[in-house]
């Protein structure tokens, strides 16, 4: 090990609205929900990641759970810094991680403003980052999927995260055209809460709605292998008495339809903007789906039917962006032109 590598530690971070992943030495060393629990009186950190998530919706007045990111960008600076610091500390606890000088690559939504980018950079620097580089999420997703982003060939990626859906066409190491909308996993979860209230008179929390989405979430009401119904318990919104409701994937497809139409429309907008030479590459190569939203059952089939272009769900879509950020870090000189 050279002196440089002893003095400089490197890590790649997928700082997401829903989940934060850190790659160190080519391994995912942190994979935690992006949430912290704070003591209201002292302002001190009580829990982070999974532990804080377990408290979400169950706290008393002295403890507040905060998700520091909203719509893909930092919404609460103090909480974001606490979270980044705490997650970096998790690596230190797991290994002999020294951080005299920390080099970090962090991904950011392609629609970020300069102020939002500055916020991520400041938070990373305050958390110990000496050299901080940024890479746009769709570019990281494409690298993580294994696409040759430098080739003179069009690749299209749709990354449906917790806060944003990013649609981008990449060629020659750059984003040729893109759309970024705030309709993604968090909105799908809210749709399910609203649907359960309006259709079944049952009140459910964010965590239960997310469980339903994972268990029976679907983008179409015609699935070849439908999942079993998911049974939900909660209070009747009128009587407050306990209710039990069996939710089917068809219910969830109906609940998500309005939001999925917005995703369809973002994809159509990008397809309309693609230069013809790249369009034919995309028809040939297909479009890659990444992010947790890619796991919605039947989403690839739905999009394929709407566009008549093949859609592929990438391998381990929840980790594609983190993998790509790690690849960018490992090849920092080669990919410096992809970073800010
Ligand atoms: N099996 C599943 N089906 C549907 N949605 C899922 C599934 N698993 C996870 N999700 C959703 O995926 C979202 C998280 O995805 P991901 O980790 O890619 O987002 P993120 O990187 O944190 O967010 P962003 O990129 O918007 O900042 C959450 O809304 C989560 O509920």
Q: Divide the 340 residues of the chain into consecutive groups of 10 and give the mean pLDDT of each group.
A: 62 95 94 96 94 88 93 91 92 65 91 89 89 95 96 97 96 95 97 97 96 98 97 95 97 98 98 96 97 98 97 97 96 81
- The pLDDT, as a whole number, for residue 1 is 45
Q: What is the pTM of this model?
A: 0.94
Q: What is the pLDDT of residue 96?
A: 59
DSSP track, 91-144? HHHHS----SEEEEEEEE-TT--HHHHHHHHHHHHHTTEEEEEEEEHHHHHHHH
| Domains identified in the chain and CATH numbers | 3-140+321-338 (3.30.420.40), 153-183+258-313 (3.30.420.40), 185-255 (3.90.640.10)
**Any ligand 1 atom below 6 A from CB of 72:** yes
- Whether residue 294 is annotated as binding a ligand: the answer is yes
138 lines ligand 1 (CB under 6 A): no
The per-residue pLDDT for 123 is 87
Nearest CA to ligand 1 atom 10: 292
């Amino acid at each position: 090990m050279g002196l440089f590598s002893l003095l400089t530690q490197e890590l790649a971070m997928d700082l997401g609205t829903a989940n934060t992943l850190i790659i160190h030495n080519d391994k995912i060393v942190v994979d935690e929900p992006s949430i912290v629990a704070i003591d209201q009186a002292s302002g001190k950190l009580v829990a982070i990641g999974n532990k804080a998530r377990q408290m979400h919706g169950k706290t008393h007045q002295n403890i507040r759970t905060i998700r520091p990111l909203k719509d893909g960008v930092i919404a609460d600076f103090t909480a974001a810094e606490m979270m980044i610091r705490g997650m970096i500390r998790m690596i230190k606890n797991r290994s002999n991680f020294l951080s005299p000088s920390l080099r970090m690559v962090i991904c950011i939504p392609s629609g970020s403003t300069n102020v939002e980018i500055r916020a991520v950079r400041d938070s990373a620097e305050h958390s110990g980052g000496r050299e901080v580089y940024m890479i746009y999420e769709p570019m990281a997703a494409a690298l993580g999927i294994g696409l040759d982003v430098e080739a003179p060939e069009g690749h299209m990626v749709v990354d449906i995260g917790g806060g944003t859906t990013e649609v981008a066409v990449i060629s020659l190491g750059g984003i040729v055209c893109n759309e970024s909308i705030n309709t993604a996993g968090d909105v799908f979860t809210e749709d399910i809460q609203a649907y359960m209230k309006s259709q079944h008179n049952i009140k459910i929390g964010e965590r239960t709605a997310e469980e339903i989405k994972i268990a029976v979430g679907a983008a179409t009401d015609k699935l070849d292998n439908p999942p079993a119904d998911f049974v939900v318990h909660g209070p009747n919104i009128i009587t407050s008495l306990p209710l039990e409701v069996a939710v089917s994937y068809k219910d969830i497809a109906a609940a998500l339809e309005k939001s999925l139409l917005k995703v369809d429309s973002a994809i159509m907008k990008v397809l309309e903007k693609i230069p013809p030479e790249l369009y034919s590459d995309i028809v040939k190569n297909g479009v890659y789906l990444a992010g947790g939203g890619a796991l919605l059952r039947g989403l690839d089939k739905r999009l394929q039917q709407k566009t008549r272009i093949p859609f592929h769900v990438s391998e381990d879509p929840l980790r594609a962006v983190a993998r790509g950020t790690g690849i960018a870090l490992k090849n920092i000189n080669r990919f410096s032109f992809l970073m800010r």
